[in-house]
Structure 1
Amino acid sequence: MRELTSIDQVTDACGDDDLIMWAAQGMKPGIRAWAHRDAVAVASPHASRRHRLAVAGRPEHAVPLVRHALAEVGRRFRPFGDAELIDAVAHAIPELDKPHHFSWMTLRELTPPAPGRGPGDRSDGVEPPAWLRPEDDPQVDLLLKEASPESYAVPGIPGVRRWAGIRSTTGELLAVAADAWSAPTVGLLAGVATAVPARGRGLGERICRFVVEELLATYGRASLMVDDWNAAAIRVYERIGFARRPVAAARFPQPGGHDLFDD
Structure 2
Amino acid sequence: MSASDGTDGDVVGTALREVSSHQELLALSGGSGFLRWDIPTPLSNPAYRVGSAFALPRQTHTRRHGLLVMGQPEDVDRLVAAMVAADVLPHDLGSVTVQRGSLDAVARHLPLDDGNDWEWLRALEAPPVVAAEDRLVTLHRDDQPAIQVLLDLANPGTDARPFEYPDQRWVGVRGDAGALLACGVREPNLAGHPVLSGITVHPDARGTGLGLAVTARLTRDAVQETGVCTLGMYSHNDVARRLYTGLGYGDTHAWSSRRLARA
TM-score, L = length of structure 2: 0.75
2:184 partner SS: strand
Q: In the alignment, is the contact (CA less than 8 A) between 1:23 and 1:47 conserved in 2?
A: no
- Structure 1 residue 215 corresponds to structure 2 residue 222: yes
Identity of counterpart residues, as a percentage? 25
* CA distance 1:38–1:130, change in 2 (3 Å): farther
Contact kept, 8 Å, 1:34 with 1:42, in 2: the verdict is: yes
> For the Cα contact (< 8 Å) 1:185–1:219, is it kept in 2?
no
Equivalent position of 2:181 in the other structure = 174
Q: What CA RMSD, in Å, does the superposition of the two structures yield over aligned residues?
A: 3.2
User: Aligned residue for 2:119?
Assistant: 103
The unaligned stretches of length 5 or more in structure 2 are: 1-15
Q: 1:56 aligns with which of 61, 66, 70?
A: 70
Aligned partner of 1:39 in structure 2 is: 53
2:255 to 231, 247, 252: 247
Q: Tell me what 2:89 maps to.
A: 72
CA contact 2:61–2:189 (8 Å) conserved in 1: no
Question: TM-score, normalized by length of structure 1?
Answer: 0.75
* 1:180 to partner: Cα distance: 4.1
User: How much does 1:36 deviate?
Assistant: 3.7
Aligned to 1:10: 25
Q: Which amino acid aligns with 2:219?
A: V
**Could you tell me how far apart the structure 1 residues matched to 2:161 and 2:167 are?**
7
Structure 1: any 5+ residue segments left out of the alignment? Answer: 256-263
In the comparison of the two structures, how many residue pairs are matched?
A: 244
- Bigger fraction of residues in helix: 1
Rounded Cα–Cα distance in structure 2 between residues aligned with 1:32 and 1:194: 40
Q: Deviation of residue 202 (structure 1)?
A: 0.0
Identify if the C-alpha distance between structure 1 residues 112 and 156 changes in structure 2 by more than 3 Å, giving closer, same or farther. Answer: closer
CA 1:46–1:185 in structure 2 vs 1: closer, same or farther (change >3 Å)? closer
Q: Quick check: 1:75–1:252 contact (8 Å CA) kept in 2?
A: no
Give, in angstroms, the shift of residue 181 of structure 1: 5.6
Contact 1:144 1:154 in 2 (8 A): no
Residue 151 (structure 1) shift: 1.7
What whole-Å deviation, never above 9, does each CA across 1:135-155 have from its counterpart, x for those lacking one? 222221122122222221121
Higher-Rg member (1/2):
2
Letter in 2 for 1:247: W
The ranges of structure 1 where at least 4 consecutive aligned residues each deviate by more than 6 angstroms after the TM superposition are none
Out of 215, 221, 232, the position equivalent to 1:225 is 232
Query: Aligned to 1:146, what secondary structure does the other structure show?
Result: helix
Q: Give the distance between the partners of 2:169 and 2:80, measured in 1 at CA.
A: 33
Counterparts in 2 of 1:145 and 1:95: CA distance versus 1, 3 Å? closer
Any idea what SS the aligned residue of 1:71 has?
Answer: coil
